[in-house]
Structure 1
Amino acid sequence: MAGQPQDDCLFCKIVAGEVPATIVRETETTVAFQDINPQAPTHVLVIPRVHYPDAASLAAAAPEVAADVLREAGQVAAAHDTQSYRIVFNTGSGAGQTVFHAHAHVLAGRGLQWPPG
């Protein structure tokens, strides 16, 4: 059920403290941690504590938590002393989503030209 922890979800396990992660920030509604396969010098994931499979379903069901994720992404960037950063939400395996728990990638610390790749 959406919103509830999922037994087979890696990010739900990180929220519960069952799987270790390098946590950089925590709030009542979010957890931010270092990506284990960084694509930029700063690559932090910001996740909601509640489980929704992607950003759109999170925003539809819990818009205040979606806003918290975005606010925390900005706080992560500020904590890394960067003015230029990218926030990326991948939705679906075709877009590169590998963990189906809504999450924002905060990327900074190198040139991030558009389009990515």
Structure 2
Amino acid sequence: MCIFCKIVNKEIPAKIIYEDENTLAFLDINPRSKGHTLVIPKEHYETFDELPEETAVNLTKTIKKVVNILKSLNPDGYNILNNNKPIAGQEVPHVHFHIIPRYNDEKEAVIKFSEPVNVDLDEVSKELNIE
């Protein structure tokens, strides 16, 4: 059983800031900023594409609720981040979204994009069957 399923089952303590029948939101134990929160479906799915549509909708509604809860911390902005599979940075194989409040006095950005890569957009369009 994964660590997030153990949190859902109350086998591991967590600082829960929101919970409903389908979702759970709790403070990240390795926060990147004050209020860094994880939002998960209670049912176990590894990646976002595995979610049934209704679960994805419920998860999105909870993300919005949590963003509003975190407004009490007075952030200057926030990131919503989801990683799928280890190559993309997923460390816990249970779909989860990070909500990371951002503050003007932070020393460095939490999210850093790599340099753009040279990709033939026409070729990608063909592969995707779009014009």
Pick the TM interval, shorter chain. Answer: 0.7 to 0.9
- The offset of 1:115, in angstroms, is 9.2
Residues 50-109 of structure 1: CA distance to partner in whole angstroms, max 9, x if unpaired? 111011111xxx111111111111111111115732211101112211110111111113
Computed over aligned residues only, the root mean square deviation of the Cα atoms, in angstroms, reads 2.1
**Runs ≥4 in structure 1, deviation > 3 angstroms?**
111-115
1:46 to 2:36 alignment: no
**What's the TM-score, normalizing by structure 2?**
0.73
Residues 3-44 of structure 1: CA distance to partner in whole angstroms, max 9, x if unpaired? xxxxx2111111001111110000110000000001122210
* Contact in 2 for aligned 1:42/1:109 (Cα 8 Å): no
Aligned counterparts of 1:89 and 1:50: Cα–Cα separation in 2 = 17
Aligned counterparts of 1:56 and 1:29: Cα–Cα separation in 2 = 17
* Aligned pairs, number: 107
Unaligned runs of at least 5 residues, structure 2: 113-131
Letter in 2 for 1:9: C
> Among 23, 26, 47, which residue is 1:33 paired with?
26
- Give percent identity, aligned residues only: 37
Larger Rg: 2
Letter in 2 for 1:63: E
Unaligned runs of at least 5 residues, structure 1: 1-7
Which structure ranks higher in relative contact order (CA pairs < 8 Å, sequence separation ≥ 6)? 1
Pairing of 1:61-80 with structure 2 (within 5 A): 62-80=52-70
CA separation of 1:109 and 1:115: change in aligned 2, threshold 3 A = closer
